Amino acid sequence: MSPSPLTAQQVATWRDQLSRGCEGDAEELIDVIAELEDLVSAARAVQAEATVKFDAARRATEAAAGRSARRQGRGVAGEIALARKESHHRGQALLGLAKVLTSEMPHTLARLRDGSLNEFRATILARETGCLDKEARITLDEELCADPKGLVGVGTKELLGRVRRRVATLDPAAVAKRARRAERERRVALRPAPDTMTYLTGLLPMAKGVAAFAALTKAAEAAIADGDPRTKGQLMADLLLTRVTGVPDTGTVEQSPAVPVTINITLPATTLAGGHEPGIITANGVTGDVIPAETARLLTAHTLTTGVGAWFRQLYTNPLGRLLALTSRQRRFPDGLAELLEIQGQGICATPWCDAPIRHNDHITPYDLGGPTTHANGQGLCEACNHTKQTDGWHQIPGSIHERPTVTTITPTGHHYQATAPTPPGSREPRPHRLDITWRDAVA
């Protein structure tokens, strides 16, 4: 008799058992660590199989309901993302990976199941073989992953080298075509870094990227030879800023001329008066990040002393930190409302676990279903999440918990996912014991 299929209740029971922790001597503990690592990989393999089956079931249901093939499965990635506590973009990637592993790379899936590979390395194999046709991909999968012994002791870089060499051998034309396509996808991205810093990255063709790096290195080394006290890394960063923005290099960050761009700093009025509450700094297309009080004051003072235009606007909150209104430099209320929603979300998409920047201002209850254009019925979403929630079977309900705006998303399977607006600067997260509730009630 074959074993019964795995159920969610069984998994929950195992999870509860794992939550009890572990004990033992050093040898036993290292064995537990190793077995848990293999268990994680095996769980990812089961998740991949469940993902594909869920996609097929959803498409079958929609086909039976008369939905066209082109529209079938539109919300699947969003449901996968919410179930795995990931962003919509990540959910789309996980859905694609699951389909590839189950249909074209069975040996890679088997190695994930037995712990020879983790999900990250399985993703590398799927990504690097994406330019091959199905037959070539199946061949490479068998060559690299049919024998688990061949993966013992193989690190990520070594595995990456193996798959790239075999791909280039099996179909060199496909590799060249992918390289040309990659050149068309060159771009620049910006994302927050710790300590009020930011990562500015450029995706460039290899030769041009190396040339740019070499030029900055050469210029920095020349400046050091002339007695500049900055480190090579500092010089390269300052030279990059100078050459991109056109502002002169003054030798220090504090004395550098202002760059003509707009950034938003949200902070309590007490911080401007010398308080210690941090603020939130955001910019167009960049999610918010915490900024220390002293740094916020210095940036504000810098804009005033250098003659850069600065707008001061008031945000009104209640004692529990709910944003109520803001003053506006424009007369049209919808623009102010849209900005209030973006400030409320600190520039981050309101969907649970999604870290993408806000692109759309959305009605929680759709306008065509009677949803009003009000603060209570508004939220900021990224483009992908906004499109997903328009899919049949998705619903959202606005609400609040202790004056904090909430949005409950209900997926076609009936699962509920709740998102709560971030706490604005100067406010505190509600403490469950103060509010006479349990922590489970606070996050339910």
Q: Determine the Cα–Cα distance for residues 240 and 224; give it in Å rounded to an integer.
A: 16
Which tokens go with 34?
């190793």
Flag whether pLDDT at 98 surpasses 70: yes
Residue-wise pLDDT tens digits, 267-318: 777 777 777 778 777 766 666 677 777 777 777 776 666 655 555 666 666 6
Summarize pLDDT for 249-269 with one digit per residue, the tens. 776 655 555 555 667 777 777
Does position 321 have pLDDT exceeding 80, yes or no?
A: no
- Report the pLDDT averaged over residues 355-377: 83
Only one residue has tokens 């060499």, namely 165
Residue 286's pLDDT is 63
Tokens of 302: 């810098």
Cβ within 8 Å of residue 7, ≥6 positions away: none
Geometric angle at alpha carbon 265, from 320 and 362, rounded to 5°: 65
Mean pLDDT (whole number) for 18-33: 88
Whether pLDDT at 378 is above 50: yes
pLDDT, residue 329, reads 44
Residue 260, Cβ neighbours under 10 Å: how many? Answer: 10
What is the per-residue DSSP string for 415-433?
Answer: -EEEEEPPPPTT--PPPTT
Average pLDDT of the residues in 101-114: 96
Residue range 110-127, pLDDT digits in tens? 999 999 999 999 999 999
> Which residue(s) pair with 189 in the sheet?
201
C-alpha distances out from residue 196 to 192, 243, 294, 296, 414, Å: 8, 22, 11, 10, 40
pLDDT at 1: 54
pLDDT at 328: 45
Judged against a pLDDT cut of 90, whether residue 143 lies above it is answered with yes
Share of the chain above pLDDT 70, in %: 82
Q: What is the pLDDT, as a whole number, of residue 142?
A: 95
Q: Contact, 137 vs 105, CB < 8 A?
A: yes
pLDDT top residue among 291 and 93: 93
Computed over every residue of the chain, the mean pLDDT equals: 82
Q: Domain-by-domain residue ranges, the chain?
A: 24-183, 187-245, 263-312, 323-443
Is the predicted pLDDT of residue 4 greater than 80, yes or no?
no
Q: What is the pLDDT of residue 259?
A: 56
Position with higher pLDDT, 202 vs 265: 202
pLDDT of 331 reads 30
Q: Per-residue pLDDT averaged across 177-186, rounded?
A: 87
pLDDT at residue 429, rounded to an integer:
60
pLDDT computed for residue 303 by the predictor: 65
Q: Collapsing DSSP states into helix, strand and coil, what is residue 175?
A: helix
3-state secondary structure labels for all residues of 310-337: CCCCCEEECCCCCEEEECCCCCCHHHHH
- Long-range contacts formed by 267-273: CB under 8 A, 24+ apart: 267/291, 267/293, 267/296, 267/425, 267/426, 268/425, 268/426, 270/426, 271/296, 271/297, 271/425, 271/426, 272/297, 272/300
What mean pLDDT do residues 343-367 have? 84
pLDDT band at 434 (very low <50, low <70, confident <90, very high): very low
Strands (E), 318-414: 323-326, 360-363, 378-381, 395-401, 404-410
Residue 438 has pLDDT above 50, yes or no: no
Say what percent of the chain tops pLDDT 90.
36
Maximum mean pLDDT: which of 165-169, 188-192, 264-268, 328-332: 165-169
- AA letter at 233: G
Q: Is 408 helix (H, G, I), strand (E, B) or coil?
A: strand
Cβ-based neighbours of 259, under 8 Å, separated by 6 or more: 241, 245, 247
Predicted local confidence at residue 261, as pLDDT: 60
Please, how many CA atoms are within 13 Å of residue 173, restricted to the half-sphere of its CB? 2
Q: What is the pLDDT of residue 285?
A: 61
pLDDT of 439 higher than 50: no
Element (H, E) at 193: strand 187-193
pLDDT value at 435 more than 50: no
pLDDT band at 373 (very low <50, low <70, confident <90, very high): confident
Q: Which of 22-31, 360-369, 394-403, 418-427 has the lowest mean pLDDT?
A: 418-427
Per-residue model confidence (pLDDT) at position 122: 96
Q: Residues 339-342: contacts with CB within 8 Å, 24+ apart?
A: 340/375, 341/375, 341/378, 341/379, 341/380, 342/282, 342/380
